[in-house]
Amino acid sequence: MINVSELTKSYGPVQALRGVSFHIGEGEIVGLLGPNGAGKTTIIKILTGYLQPDGGTAEVHGMDVLEHTREVQAQIGYLPETAPLYPELTVQAYLKMMADLRQIPEEAQLDRLSEAIYATGLQEHLTRPIGQLSKGFRQRVGLAQAILHKPKLLILDEPTVGLDPTQIVEIRNLIRRLAKTSTILFSTHILSEVEALCDRAIILMNGRIKADARLSELAATSDAVLVLERTPEGALETLRGLKEVRGVELFRSLDGYPAYRVLGDPQLSDGNLTPRLYALARQHDWPVRELRRDVRTLEMVFNQLATEEVTAEN
Ligand code: ATP
């Protein structure tokens, strides 16, 4: 659905993209995540044909965006960071105008408009001028225009920015519904948004992709946590002696029991230490209270990448 290869873009001395490549398949819902200034909007503008890259290629539906800009734009539903709405127009007048601009045939317009209006829950607000709507409803109008022509691909630039918590939940639910029939790429700097909506995240920092993986892969570690009823003599040394282990941290579990965070060596272990630890605990007759794989939150992954980025820059 989307193929991006080695994209570069500078604005004067600012290198916004430094060789960005990724592929998005049909039916995926992917979060493009990054701090302010990471280059998210630049990627989206290139993909939607509103900005020319300095180098690299962007393809949508197998078509080069630069060569087939109009055809690509006709197949994408795009919600820019600030949707170009006309505050004096009513919702229905605006959507009708967008349907004309999209060259949706007159006989199909009623169906297309009703579907977009119901999908975005705008039916009660059709006769209100857009300028009088709350920000959340204006965002719905932006989404309604993006789906009018039933695009198979939706590209949304920070769709919930500036909304209150209730509006955020509503827009997320709407995106979830739209994901049933479309591939979706959306940008955000909100980690929980990606966790709430996506299977996969592309993390962008300083114009480079720092991670591109399914959330479950990002969360997985080769570490494990072993909680015991009491501290057996020599347990720490025994754990440290395992060849798959690069370190052991001793701490107290929340309910006050001795706990060991066993850091797996990604080079040696198969990624899951728990069977090995279970066997070891049985062998030594340790009173096991809990044994689990350690997982990371997206926030931990993001912070680690941000720290690496700062260290690399200095
Ligand atoms: P945000 O989350 O703040 O919207 P972003 O990840 O979308 O950020 P971009 O808007 O793509 O980031 O910007 C990437 C870099 O390029 C930033 O350093 C930004 O200041 C710079 N930049 C973007 N547009 C322009 C422009 N028109 N002229 C000069 N610099 C620009």
User: Tens digits of per-residue pLDDT, 259-270?
Assistant: 999 998 877 656
Residue at 171: amino acid letter: I
- The C-alpha atoms of residue 291 and residue 281 are separated, in whole angstroms, by 10
Residue with CA closest to ligand 1 atom 10 = 41
So what CATH class is 2-206? alpha beta
In tens, the pLDDT along 160-186 reads 887 888 888 888 888 888 888 899 999
Q: SS3 for 98-130, per residue?
A: HHHHCCCCHHHHHHHHHHHHHHCCCHHHCCCEH
On the 0-12 / 13-18 / 19+ scale of CB atoms within 10 A, 158 is buried
57 falls in which pLDDT band (50, 70, 90)? very high
Pocket perturbation via mutation, ligand 1, pick of 4, 7, 36, 43 by most ligand atoms within 8 A of CB: 36
15 falls in which pLDDT band (50, 70, 90)? very high
CATH number listed for the domain at residues 220-295 = 3.30.70
CA 142–ligand 1 middle distance (angstroms): 22
Using the atom order of ligand 1, give the atom closest to the CA of residue 35: 2
Percentage above 70 pLDDT, the chain:
98
Where in the sequence of the chain do the CATH 3.30.70 domains occur?
A: 220-295
* Contact indicator for 233, 287 with CB cutoff of 8 Å: no
**Residue ranges in 125-205 assigned as alpha helix (H):** 135-147, 165-178, 191-197
Pocket perturbation via mutation, ligand 1, pick of 7, 8, 17, 41 by most ligand atoms within 8 A of CB: 41
Where in the sequence of the chain do the CATH 3.40.50.300 domains occur?
A: 2-206
CA 132–ligand 1 middle distance (angstroms): 30
Pocket of ligand 1 (CB under 6 A): 11, 14, 16, 34, 36-42, 189
pLDDT of amino acid 178: 86
Instruction: Report the first-to-last Cα separation within the chain, whole angstroms.
Output: 37
pLDDT of amino acid 270: 67
pLDDT of amino acid 17: 97
